[in-house]
């Protein structure tokens, strides 16, 4: 067999991929052990009084080409994870870590086979579907003054949009434990995460001890789909606007993502009026 110098070690064979994953997992454990960061771990059943922002999303997508069983399993995985996250207090200076809070997803803990994106291919894995939960968290933090310290994105065109397009409704990537989602409470007050499920709906809230003086909004510009060679891509620019809560004046407009995401769902479901020639 000829050796391809451009091929990564983890791509040679599934065994080597598993070795690479274990190596990265160990490196993250070691890095956190040596870190001076203080990670949030306090759970409180008492809700903080002020709602900073909230969102909700349907956990189960019933669309062409999406296996319903993996969607139902995803809902189970999200529910189990919400039980770990609900009520978490992040004190000033503390860091939130998705995986340090939820822990490893295993069959023994009740997690099921859900959809995962592995090396740009859709497949299944234990605990699959938690990217949806990470997205809900990401939307909360984007609508707050908290500082995102680790974010990984994959295509935000895994499934067709349902209703009005919501930027960052998908696109946040997490994989135990080295592909994490983290943010730091860089404010002078406690904040709290509330996440719970009712039926097929995931609810998320970020609360605080007192109101912040700013409001935040996501703005997506030039959203469309384009064909490149034999594939379609979602293209747009997504900004975060920070405004004075009293005057409404926009104080800052920050580019969050220059979006160029490969479409992973059936091309026939792309709205024809949103396709442009590049």
- Tell me: pLDDT of 170 over 90: no
- Residue 3 pLDDT: 45
CA-CA distance, 163 to 247, in Å (whole number)?
31
pLDDT in tens, 102-134: 999 999 999 999 888 666 677 788 998 898 999
Render the burial of 168-189: b for 16+ CB within 10 Å, e for the rest: bbbbbbbbbbbbbbbbbbebee
- Residue 277 pLDDT: 80
- Tell me: pLDDT of 278 over 70: no
Report the relative pairing of strands 214-228 and 275-276 from DSSP bridges: parallel
Please tell me which residue, 151 or 168, carries the higher pLDDT value. Answer: 151
Residue 261's nearest CA partner among 179, 176, 183, 165 is 165
- Tell me: pLDDT of 264 over 90: no
What band does 166 get if pLDDT is binned at 50, 70 and 90?
Answer: confident
DSSP percent split of the chain into helix, strand, coil, nearest 5: 25, 35, 40
Calculate the alpha carbon distances from 156 to 22, 80, 132, 159 in Å: 27, 24, 11, 8
> Which residue in the block uniquely carries the two structure tokens 């809070």?
101
CA-CA distance, 55 to 86, in Å (whole number)?
14
Tell me the average pLDDT across 210-216. 96
Hey, how many other C-beta atoms are within 10 angstroms of the C-beta on 66? 17
- Tell me: pLDDT of 142 over 50: yes
- Tell me: pLDDT of 5 over 60: no
Hey, how many other C-beta atoms are within 10 angstroms of the C-beta on 190? 19
Of 65-79, 133-147, 156-170, give the range with the top mean pLDDT. Answer: 133-147
> Which residue in the block uniquely carries the two structure tokens 């935040």?
216
Hey, how many other C-beta atoms are within 10 angstroms of the C-beta on 237? 15
- Residue 116 pLDDT: 81
In DSSP terms, 254 is beta-bridged to 240
Q: What is the percent of the chain with per-residue pLDDT over 90, rounded to a whole number?
A: 65
Tokens at residue 222, please? 């030039």
- Tell me: pLDDT of 271 over 60: yes
| Length of the chain counted residue by residue | 278
> Which residue in the block uniquely carries the two structure tokens 């030039």?
222
The mean of the pLDDT values for the chain is 89
- Residue 1 pLDDT: 41
Tell me the average pLDDT across 210-220. 95
Tell me the average pLDDT across 158-187. 84
| pTM of structure | 0.86
Tell me the average pLDDT across 170-199. 93
């Amino acid at each position: 067999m000829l050796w391809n110098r451009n091929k990564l070690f983890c791509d040679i064979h599934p065994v080597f991929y598993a070795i690479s994953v274990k190596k990265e997992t160990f490196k993250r454990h070691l890095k956190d052990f040596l870190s001076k960061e203080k990670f949030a771990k306090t759970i409180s059943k008492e809700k903080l009084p002020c709602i900073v922002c909230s969102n909700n999303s349907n956990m189960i997508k019933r669309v062409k080409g999406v296996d319903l069983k993996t969607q139902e399993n995803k809902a189970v995985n999200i529910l189990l994870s919400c039980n770990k996250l609900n009520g978490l207090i992040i004190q000033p200076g503390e860091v939130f870590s998705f995986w340090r809070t939820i822990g490893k997803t295993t069959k023994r803990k009740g997690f099921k086979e859900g959809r995962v994106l592995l090396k740009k291919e859709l497949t299944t894995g234990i605990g699959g579907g938690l990217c949806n939960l990470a997205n809900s968290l990401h939307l909360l933090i984007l609508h707050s003054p908290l500082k995102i310290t680790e974010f990984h994105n994959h295509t935000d065109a895994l499934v067709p949009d349902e209703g009005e397009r919501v930027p960052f409704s998908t696109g946040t990537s997490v994989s135990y434990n080295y592909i994490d989602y983290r943010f730091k409470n860089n404010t002078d007050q406690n904040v709290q995460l509330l996440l719970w499920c009712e039926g097929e709906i995931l609810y998320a809230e970020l609360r605080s001890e007192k109101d912040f003086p700013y409001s935040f909004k996501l703005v997506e510009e030039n959203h469309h789909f384009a064909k490149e060679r034999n594939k379609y891509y979602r293209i747009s620019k997504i900004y975060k606007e920070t405004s004075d809560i009293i005057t409404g004046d926009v104080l800052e407009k920050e580019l969050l993502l220059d979006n160029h995401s490969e479409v992973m769902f059936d091309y026939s479901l792309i709205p024809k009026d949103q396709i442009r020639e590049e």
